């Protein structure tokens, strides 16, 4: 349902407000996404980082309305500022749509696309790469088979697939892992989306192929001006790709700032822990030995609701009587830098 038909203010493309995605299970309620706010501007690359189970992928699935049952959006808004063919934009709340509605199917794969970690989950093994991309194009664009084929070859060219016209007739199993991921990105980009959601798209690849794919994505983003929501557990990839970074822990945003501040001025103890657990380039270059400090403890059981700050059992800066009693709010430290921690109240 469109909220209004007026032009949107500023450059905002997607506003996620107080998003809550829950799974009601016999064992209890899993609050996979528990009150998330994220804003993405046109052409911006926003990185979302955190350990497995922090809710980053489920945030992406909520935007796409692909949350698997019994999960469902329990509360919140996902306001997509959708460009109109005649100019201007209208705002549609994706959280308010039926997950099977034609509205969301028109947006999914067209104006908002997603690339998953494992390309074989996105590609059918029994149809050629070309057939799969042309089908995606014909689903959203009024073009004939020949025109769809040209668009598909162009998309494969844009992701720097070697011999794109020949690759059209290949089945996914005939391609290397890197080529398969290029094909998936080509499929996601064929309709020239305004927003690409990339969920760990290079995690399954070797480092050389990963660097090539990141290079392709950066180039495409600069060329087309699309926004990217880049989900990863890898802070090195965030440094390469993102302008803004959202750090998530147990379904909540715990820190949000620009990429420079995340690396040079992190505030939340969890963000500091993530940074301390990766090697520093200068030490590698200089051959210096460095002790990597893993974050102590484990993410708690998803069924357990902790009193106070969700990070308190693992936090080196834990304050008894404060952190285990009250849940911290997300507070703004300065323009563009927010943190959820009692240390800054």
Residues that bind ligand SF4 (CB under 6 A): 269, 309, 311-312, 315, 317-319, 323, 328, 341-343
Looking up tokens 């809550």 gives: 20
Q: Which is nearer to ligand SF4, 99 or 299 (CB)?
A: 299
Q: Which is nearer to ligand SF4, 76 or 269 (CB)?
A: 269
Least CB distance to ligand SF4 at residue 80 (A) = 32
Q: Which is nearer to ligand SF4, 143 or 343 (CB)?
A: 343
C-alpha span between 311 and 330 (Å, rounded)? 14
**177-189 vs 207-224: helix axis angle to the nearest 10?**
20
- 3-state class of 199 per DSSP? strand
Q: Which is nearer to ligand SF4, 74 or 343 (CB)?
A: 343
Alpha carbons within 13 A on the beta-carbon side of 92: 17
Q: Which is nearer to ligand SF4, 173 or 344 (CB)?
A: 344
Q: What single string gives the DSSP state of each residue in 41-78?
A: ETT-EEEEE--TTSSHHHHHHHHHT-PPTTEEEEEEEE
- The two tokens of residue 101 are 């509605």
Least CB distance to ligand SF4 at residue 236 (A) = 24
Least CB distance to ligand SF4 at residue 312 (A) = 4
Least CB distance to ligand SF4 at residue 272 (A) = 10
Q: Which is nearer to ligand SF4, 120 or 343 (CB)?
A: 343
Least CB distance to ligand SF4 at residue 157 (A) = 47
Least CB distance to ligand SF4 at residue 36 (A) = 17
Is residue 338 within 8 Å of residue 257, measured between CB atoms?
Answer: yes
C-alpha span between 267 and 264 (Å, rounded)? 10
C-alpha span between 143 and 211 (Å, rounded)? 34
């Amino acid at each position: 349902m469109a909220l209004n038909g007026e032009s949107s203010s500023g450059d905002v493309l997607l506003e996620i407000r107080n998003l809550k995605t829950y799974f009601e299970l016999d064992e209890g309620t899993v609050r996979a996404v528990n009150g998330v706010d994220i804003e993405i501007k046109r052409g911006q690359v926003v990185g979302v980082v955190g350990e497995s189970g922090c809710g980053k992928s489920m945030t992406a699935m909520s935007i796409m309305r692909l949350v698997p049952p019994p999960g469902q959006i329990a509360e919140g808004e996902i306001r997509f500022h959708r460009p109109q063919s005649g100019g201007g934009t209208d705002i549609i709340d994706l959280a308010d749509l039926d997950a099977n509605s034609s509205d969301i199917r028109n947006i999914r794969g067209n104006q908002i696309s997603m690339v998953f970690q494992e390309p074989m989950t996105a590609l059918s093994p029994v149809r050629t790469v070309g057939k799969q991309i042309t089908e995606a194009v014909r689903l959203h664009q009024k073009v004939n088979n020949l025109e769809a084929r040209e668009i598909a070859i162009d998309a494969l060219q844009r992701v720097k697939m070697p011999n794109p016209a020949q690759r059209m007739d290949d089945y996914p199993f005939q391609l290397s892992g890197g080529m398969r991921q290029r094909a998936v990105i080509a499929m996601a980009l064929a309709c020239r989306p305004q927003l690409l959601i990339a969920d760990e798209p290079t995690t399954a690849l070797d480092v050389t192929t990963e660097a090539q794919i990141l290079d392709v994505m950066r180039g495409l983003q600069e060329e087309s001006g699309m926004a990217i929501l880049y989900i990863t557990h890898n802070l090195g990839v965030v440094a390469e790709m993102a302008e803004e970074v959202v750090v998530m822990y147990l379904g909540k945003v715990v820190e949000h700032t620009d990429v420079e501040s995340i690396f040079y001025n992190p505030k939340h103890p969890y963000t500091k822990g993530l940074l301390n657990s990766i090697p520093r380039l200068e030490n590698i270059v200089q051959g210096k030995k460095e002790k990597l400090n893993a974050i102590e403890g484990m993410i708690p059981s998803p069924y357990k609701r902790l009193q106070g700050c969700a990070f308190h059992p693992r936090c080196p800066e834990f304050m008894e009587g404060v952190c285990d009693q009250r849940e911290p709010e997300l507070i703004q430290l300065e323009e563009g830098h927010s943190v959820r921690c009692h240390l800054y109240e």
